[in-house]
Structure 1
């Protein structure tokens, strides 16, 4: 297992950083594929501080083969012995002069195909034509997030800051006294590298200060089927990777 040390680090610390999963040529092809798209509709969000594409592989299906190269497929296979499948894909572009920042939080919402009164599913939202809901904590604990970095990312252009091991505390009230930033770690990632993350780890990002872009593709994987009648919004059997 080539990535066993990253698997252990992800489980223990809530994150892990890898380099060189993509060549410069592969990154250029990914960026060209995104830039060629029409980029219109509810799934596309553009402001002076952020450009995002939700349901990325549904909107730009040609990206699938470019993203799931041999290295990424091996990585996903090494992370779990269970059958994991893609549940979410988003593209984020933080422009050169972005003042957009994100305070510390956990990723508690998943995207589903409908709203229904289901036990243990709460905090419903409806944004840009899609439903979000907070599922049972076990689903969040078993989610694996993979962030593909299309630019070199450091503390000056919005690299994620995390509180290591905070994912082990379950759902945390942000105003709680049970965490602080003294152990904060900045996850700097090279272009073509990947950051692995558990969604329950406390994480944040700062404004851009060096006039350099930060483009990231955010993928989430899970192994659980949802309580009926709910289904993962972006699940597709052909995107089962493990």
Structure 2
């Protein structure tokens, strides 16, 4: 099924697993967010943010990003992982169809139903029971405009309701449900169900595309473990 472009209100979080909050950040807020991110390294495709104190004014419940998570999860929403994706002509990558399946926790405690475990950028990650991910949302904050050729996120509407999909089944789901391209202007925020099937193409031609991605959860703890937090 052919891709359809989406930068409108025709997708909703409940029905489709994605929703656009257009111009959620004004130009001044975008500038302050850029300043908060400027010290991060730029040598890797995705920079995992372990200590995000400078981001807390943006991610707290009253902040311009956190308030969107609250609208989906309620007042208990908290940021539990943040990654800065900074595509440039030198760092331009594609990512195939997949579901996000890991969370970041404070320490490793071997527990039934949790695993495998990995460590990335010094952060402990584990695959939890999938229902934890199904209760989470992911926000993507756009610091650069994204058109059809500047690596928009590709999503499969409705796939967030299908549970944990075997990797061999994901291609069939994409073919059956179709995909949408999520375009954005600077300052837009896309809200997604964390469990949605998604992918990304490389930019063509290569150019800058900065996206701050934050996972939020309303669970006090991920089962017997503790969130690492942001």
What is the TM-score when the length of structure 1 is the normalising length? 0.81
Number of the residue aligned with 1:194: 189
Cα distance, 1:73 vs structure 2: 4.3
Paired residue for 2:20?
17
1:223 aligns with 2:218: yes
1:34 paired residue number: 37
SS of the residue corresponding to residue 86 of structure 2 reads: strand
Match of 1:3 in 2: none
Residue deviations 1:28-47, cap 9 Å, x none? 22213322x2x4xxxx5624
Match of 2:55?
63
2:229 aligns with one of 211, 217, 234: 234
Q: 1:192 to 1:105 in 2, by over 3 A?
A: same
Answering whether residue 129 of structure 2 is matched by residue 126 of structure 1, we say no
SS at match of 1:180: helix
Alpha carbons 2:81, 2:215 under 8 Å: kept:
yes
- 2: CA distance, partners of 1:100 / 1:205: 8
| Unaligned runs of at least 5 residues, structure 2 | 1-8
Unaligned 5+ runs, structure 1: 1-5, 236-242
Aligned-residue Cα RMSD (Å) equals: 2.2
Q: Matched residues in 1 for 2:223 and 2:55: separation?
A: 30
TM-score when normalising by structure 2: 0.85
In the alignment, structure 1 residue 180 sits paired with structure 2 residue 174: yes
Quickly say closer, same or farther: Cα 1:64–1:96, change in 2 above 3 A: farther
Q: Is the 8 A contact 1:86 1:234 kept in 2?
A: yes
Describe the shift of the 1:21–1:82 C-alpha distance in structure 2 as closer, same or farther (beyond 3 A): closer
What is the match of residue 85 of structure 1? 78
State the distance in 1 between where 2:196 and 2:174 align: 13
Distance in 2 (CA, whole Å) between partners of 1:81 and 1:129 is 30
- 1:46 aligns to what? 43
Count of paired positions: 217
Q: Hey, what does 1:240 align to over in structure 2?
A: none
Matched residue, 1:238: none
Are 1:147 and 2:137 matched, yes or no? no
